Chains A and B, each alone.
Chain A
Amino acid sequence: MTVLASYLPLVPLLAGIATGLFGWRRSTALAAVVGSAGVTTGGVILGTIVVDRGAVIAAGGLVRVDALSAYLILIIGVASLISSAYAVGYIDTELRLGHTTPQGARLYGLLVQIFIACMLIAVSTDNIGVMWVAVEATTIATAFLVGHRRTRAAVEASWKYVVIASVGVSIAFLGIVLLYFASRHASVGAATLRWSQLLAMAGKLDPAVTRLAAGAVIIGFGTKAGLAPFHTWLPDAHSQAPAPVSALMSGVLLSVSFYVLARHKVVIDAVLGPAYMRNMLIAVGLLSLGVAASLLIAQRDYKRLLAYSSIEHMGLVAFGTAIGSPLAVAGALYHMLGHAIAKSVAFCASGEILFDSGTTRIADVRGLLKRRPALGTVFGLALLALLGIPPFSLFASEVAILRAAGAAHLELVMVLAAALLLVAFVSILQHGRQMLLGEPTGGHTDRRTPAIALTTLAIALGASAVLGVTLGPLDRLLTAASRVVAP
């Protein structure tokens, strides 16, 4: 099993290299789908193993896959499966419409798979330094994906994204340096960047240095995770990237960055006690909810709408993690999975709407259900899933988080969070209603969404609904994963 844990990132990488060598074709696009399916399968296998036998450690301690890692691998696999299955038709259409060149499509295929590989490395390593390198590498891999269209807006978005994300991640590096420093002074020859070793020696780490490190880490990885007030790059980047990339960035990149933050939280909590990180995370969580809610109200662009919804959901995940009880953390992790599925579907559907209407303005899209019933249904259901309507899984996770907040005597914060969620709920519902219902207006292309794309999105929504009713075998993995963060 050590082989699987160590070499899983190679799977998407090989698919990417295939596209790099042979260009964007049906076969290489399908290779990417198969690769993503492979990653998902790998996640399932690793999940079953680590639940029974504990963490898999390989490559001299560099690789360590525990329940939390396996769970994240699963999320990455599922979201990239949705994204890559949708991308098959998406890139073909882009090529046909002249939005991109064969060269651009080739680069796209390569970079997306490198991006996925970097995320896999970030979640399956034990070394926080390697985590950092991998997170920084995702910025580089996605830079050109965000700027894929090369329009003025795309250039602006990618510039802001690279600059803000790189600065943020550099500050996270400062935090990692400080943790290394603390470990070096803990005892002779103890200098380490391995997460498991840092956790084991937490009692000996200097609290003052750790506190500084905690601040740097929250700023740094919080930036990549899209938490307010470091979120400013997110709406631009997510709205300008091609739909399958938005799906991946929103669905998993944010979660992976938050995963890295959560790993650090475990060590920092062991040194400083839970209060410090709890207060910080509750603050950024609530701020994210507030920013998202306020900017959702008068949103005019449906891709930005989805982007702000991501900030909202990441805020909720941060809030759940901050509470720190096993129920809350399980709720947060469960929320990550539900959000990854629903947001991937929503972004992919938004890509189709963009092809259909040629604009991202909400006001210019009317009567989607009447004109494009299948697409309209998928988009509408994805929005409902994002809103946390039962039976979709986000309902269950939101309830779990809010209940845990009540149990932890954070009633005031809970009420505040619930109120902000309600504002976001009403705004998204209102905007969604405008887009979906009513009479169609304006001239539109006669493009039909490929069956494979619609089927994938429908299956994903179905999975989300099933997950909302029962976790099934996933239950044990989720419990084990939440135990990593909330021991």
Chain B
Amino acid sequence: MTDSALSQLLGLAIGTALVCAYVVLWRSRLISIVRAIAVQGAAVAVVALTLGLHEHSVEPVAAAVGVFALKAVIIPMLLARWIRQSEELREVDPLINIPASLLAGGLLTLFVYATARQVANLGSDSASRAVPAAIAIVMLGLLVMTIRRKAVTQVAGFLLLENGIALVAFLTTSGLPLLIELGGALDLLLVVLVLHVLAGRMVSAFGATDLNQLQELRD
């Protein structure tokens, strides 16, 4: 693969991932959010695949297959089932309204671009230069977790964060050793499952997964 084709494909995949983060921020229908998360997972897999093919190494390609299976198929399917069962279809009461949160996301992205240059400067290849976009996705995930108040959207924010970090890992290092990737993937899956179970308990204890109701424990 030539360098320009590599940078083009990487740019496309990362652009897609970044847009998906904004879609999560923008949409209030939970199922659309889950779809965006799935597309983003696929974009992460494409990044890994591209880098693997470019460097002629097997590990990133194997990681790409795993990422695709986990982040683009298994977890989104889990979340979709979760939404169907819970009868909560919309994020009704975010902490700040959607246009404002979109603008906040835009500012956050700018801020990241302005500050994350030190990492990017270490490498001059197209992969390293895309790192700020990946870090922006991490920040957008944190933003979503802060302003959205439903269990599913919290998980969506967490997955954005995870995807962003996975992108940073692939872009800077072409992926960590496979053992760690595997452990991380297993942990991620288990966290999502645990949160699913806890959300079920939340529904039976509070009647919904509205985090604004979690007010009992404080000093």
Instruction: Indicate yes or no for A touching B, C-beta below 8 A.
Output: yes
User: Could you tell me which A residues sit within 8 Å of B by CB distance?
Assistant: 127, 129-130, 132-133, 136-137, 139-140, 143-144, 147, 150-153, 155-160, 162-163, 166-167, 170-171, 173-174, 176-178, 180-181, 184-185, 191, 193, 206, 208-209, 212, 235-236, 239-240, 295, 298-300, 304
Taking a contact as CB atoms under 8 Å apart, the answer to whether A150 and B201 are in contact is yes
Asked whether B173 is an interface residue with its Cβ less than 8 Å from the other chain, the reply is yes
Residue of A at shortest CB range from B183? A133
**Nearest-Cβ distance from residue B43 to partner chain A, whole angstroms:** 18
Stretch among B20-28, B94-102, B190-198 lining the A interface: B190-198
Taking a contact as CB atoms under 8 Å apart, the answer to whether A159 and B214 are in contact is yes
Taking a contact as CB atoms under 8 Å apart, the answer to whether A129 and B217 are in contact is no
Taking a contact as CB atoms under 8 Å apart, the answer to whether B217 and A193 are in contact is no
| Extra pairs beyond A158-B198, A159-B211 (12, CB < 8 Å) | A129-B183, A132-B184, A140-B191, A143-B198, A144-B194, A144-B197, A153-B216, A155-B201, A156-B217, A177-B165, A193-B180, A304-B219
Residues facing A in B171-218 (CB within 8 A) are 172-173, 176-177, 179-180, 183-184, 186-187, 190-191, 194-195, 197-199, 201-202, 205-206, 211, 214, 216-217
Contact with A along B108-119 (1 / 0, CB 8 A): 000000000011
Known: A140-B190, A155-B202. A193 touches B123 (CB 8 A): no
Chain B residues with CB below 8 A from A299, complex form = 219
For the complex, give the distance between the alpha carbons of A147 and B206 in Å: 14
Residue of A at shortest CB range from B151? A159
Chain A residues with CB below 8 A from B165, complex form = 170-171, 173-174, 177
Chain A residues with CB below 8 A from B138, complex form = 174
User: Could you tell me which B residues sit within 8 Å of A by CB distance?
Assistant: 118-119, 121-123, 138, 142, 145, 151, 154, 158, 161-162, 165, 168-169, 172-173, 176-177, 179-180, 183-184, 186-187, 190-191, 194-195, 197-199, 201-202, 205-206, 211, 214, 216-217, 219
For the complex, give the distance between the alpha carbons of A139 and B183 in Å: 14
Q: Would you give 14 A-B contacts (Cβ < 8 Å), ordered by A?
A: A130-B179, A130-B180, A132-B184, A139-B191, A143-B198, A152-B216, A155-B205, A163-B158, A166-B191, A170-B161, A193-B177, A208-B121, A240-B217, A298-B219
Taking a contact as CB atoms under 8 Å apart, the answer to whether B172 and A177 are in contact is yes
Taking a contact as CB atoms under 8 Å apart, the answer to whether A133 and B172 are in contact is no
For the complex, give the distance between the alpha carbons of A116 and B183 in Å: 18
Contact pick for B119, options A136, A139, A150, A212, CB 8 Å: A212
Contact pick for A136, options B121, B154, B187, CB 8 Å: B187
For the complex, give the distance between the alpha carbons of A18 and B121 in Å: 53
Chain A residues with CB below 8 A from B214, complex form = 156, 159-160
- Counting chain A CB atoms within 10 Å of each CB, the highest count among B161, B177, B191 belongs to B191
Taking a contact as CB atoms under 8 Å apart, the answer to whether B162 and A162 are in contact is no
Chain B residues with CB below 8 A from A152, complex form = 205-206, 216
**Nearest-Cβ distance from residue B196 to partner chain A, whole angstroms:** 11
Chain A residues with CB below 8 A from B211, complex form = 159
**Nearest-Cβ distance from residue A340 to partner chain B, whole angstroms:** 25
Taking a contact as CB atoms under 8 Å apart, the answer to whether A151 and B205 are in contact is yes
Known: A178-B119, A184-B173, A206-B122. A133 touches B180 (CB 8 A): yes
Taking a contact as CB atoms under 8 Å apart, the answer to whether B161 and A208 are in contact is no
Residue of B at shortest CB range from A134? B183
For the complex, give the distance between the alpha carbons of A239 and B173 in Å: 41
For the complex, give the distance between the alpha carbons of A180 and B219 in Å: 41
Chain B residues with CB below 8 A from A300, complex form = 219
Chain A residues with CB below 8 A from B205, complex form = 150-152, 155
Residue of B at shortest CB range from A173? B165
Contact pick for A177, options B173, B199, B206, CB 8 Å: B173
**Nearest-Cβ distance from residue B202 to partner chain A, whole angstroms:** 5
Taking a contact as CB atoms under 8 Å apart, the answer to whether B172 and A178 are in contact is yes
Taking a contact as CB atoms under 8 Å apart, the answer to whether B202 and A140 are in contact is no
- Counting chain A CB atoms within 10 Å of each CB, the highest count among B162, B172, B180, B190 belongs to B180
Chain B residues with CB below 8 A from A191, complex form = 173
Chain B residues with CB below 8 A from A174, complex form = 138, 165, 168
Chain B residues with CB below 8 A from A177, complex form = 165, 168-169, 172-173, 176
Chain A residues with CB below 8 A from B190, complex form = 137, 140
**Nearest-Cβ distance from residue B149 to partner chain A, whole angstroms:** 12
Chain B residues with CB below 8 A from A166, complex form = 158, 191
For the complex, give the distance between the alpha carbons of A381 and B217 in Å: 28
**Nearest-Cβ distance from residue A189 to partner chain B, whole angstroms:** 13
Chain A residues with CB below 8 A from B158, complex form = 163, 166-167, 170
For the complex, give the distance between the alpha carbons of A140 and B197 in Å: 12
Closest CB pairs A-B (n = 10): A133-B183, A129-B180, A181-B172, A136-B187, A156-B214, A236-B217, A177-B169, A208-B118, A152-B205, A143-B194
